[in-house]
Structure 1
Amino acid sequence: MRVLVLLCVIAVAGVALARPEDKYTDRFDSINIQEILKNRRLLVPYVHCALDKGKCTPEGKELKSHIKEALETRCAKCTEAQVRGTRLVIGHLINHEQEFWHQLTAKYDPAGQYTKRYEQELKTAR
């Protein structure tokens, strides 16, 4: 048990001490995520990019290249803006775009090992 606690402390300390070069690029952190989520004409191409069903913008390529790792590590390499944006997008997909959410989870987390916790945290009561 002590070993498990020690490993958890080391993992948390490692995330807290991450150097800026250990983070994902912040080049796209200023994108207006709310605008994309409110407009299906903007949202659908990003989802299709992530699902390998359509062309990708530079932002979409960057996003797609990190989805699996970010899910597995709870966004350990994300900037603060990326953490907020990720939670916003995932919450929107879970609550308003369930078909897209199911397709994305089937592709990036088929066992539901990482996405279940997001569903528990971000699903709103209806």
Structure 2
Amino acid sequence: MQRRVAVVVLLAALVLADKYDNIDIESILRSDRLMNNYMKCFLDTGPCTSQAYDLKRDFPEAMSDCSSCTDEQKKLVKKASRYLIKERPEQWKMILDKYDPDRTRSVKFNKFLNEE
């Protein structure tokens, strides 16, 4: 359950660096091991790889309207986020509670998600 939330965290953070433009999100979504590891890192319940740590560090800044995103990153963020919000709302709430407890970033992020 919690493992898919890591995708949102991962993707939202990806917007900050072009080096993530070619990430294979489908592989991450299909890997329970990767998802579990990213989720533990982002929620401070387990160790972080260097990539997961960087993503976790940058996530709060990325969680907005994705104005720093490349077009490819915007597609990835929207795909993963929409899925998690719809299919895994409990896990999405855990991420929001940690990274946006007053929900100020979520307002902009939700606007971004609803754009076509």
Do these two structures clear the TM 0.5 threshold for a shared fold by scoring above it? yes
In structure 1, what residue type is equivalent to 2:67? A
Do the aligned residues in 2 keep the contact of 1:49 with 1:60 (CA within 8 Å)?
yes
Higher-RCO chain (CA-CA 8 Å, sequence separation at least 6): 2
What SS does the corresponding residue of 2:19 show, helix, strand or coil? coil
Find 1:38's aligned residue among 19, 27, 30. Answer: 30
Find the structure with the greater CA-based Rg. 1
Q: CA deviation at 1:117?
A: 5.7
Runs of 4+ in 1 over 4 A off after TM superposition: 116-123
Do the aligned residues in 1 keep the contact of 2:21 with 2:73 (CA within 8 Å)?
yes
CA distance in 2, matches of 1:55, 1:104: 17
Change in Cα spacing, 1:110 to 1:78, as seen in structure 2 (3 Å) is: same
Q: Is it true that 1:94 corresponds to 2:97 in the alignment?
A: no
Q: CA deviation at 1:78?
A: 2.1
What SS does the corresponding residue of 1:27 show, helix, strand or coil? helix
* Higher normalized helix content (fraction of residues): 2
RMSD, matched Cα: 2.5
Q: CA deviation at 1:46?
A: 1.2
Find 1:71's aligned residue among 44, 55, 63. Answer: 63
What SS does the corresponding residue of 2:47 show, helix, strand or coil? coil
**Correspondence for 2:53:** 61
Between 100-109 and 27-36, the greater mean CA deviation after superposition: 27-36
Kindly provide the CA deviation profile for residues 32-82 of structure 1, in whole angstroms up to 9, marking residues without a partner as x.
11221233332121122111222222321222122111113x122222222
Percent of aligned pairs sharing the same letter: 32
Q: CA deviation at 1:99?
A: 2.4
Kindly provide the CA deviation profile for residues 93-114 of structure 1, in whole angstroms up to 9, marking residues without a partner as x.
2122222211100011112223
The total of aligned residue pairs comes to: 100
What SS does the corresponding residue of 1:49 show, helix, strand or coil? helix
| Superposition TM-score, scaled by structure 2 size | 0.68
| Superposition TM-score, scaled by structure 1 size | 0.63
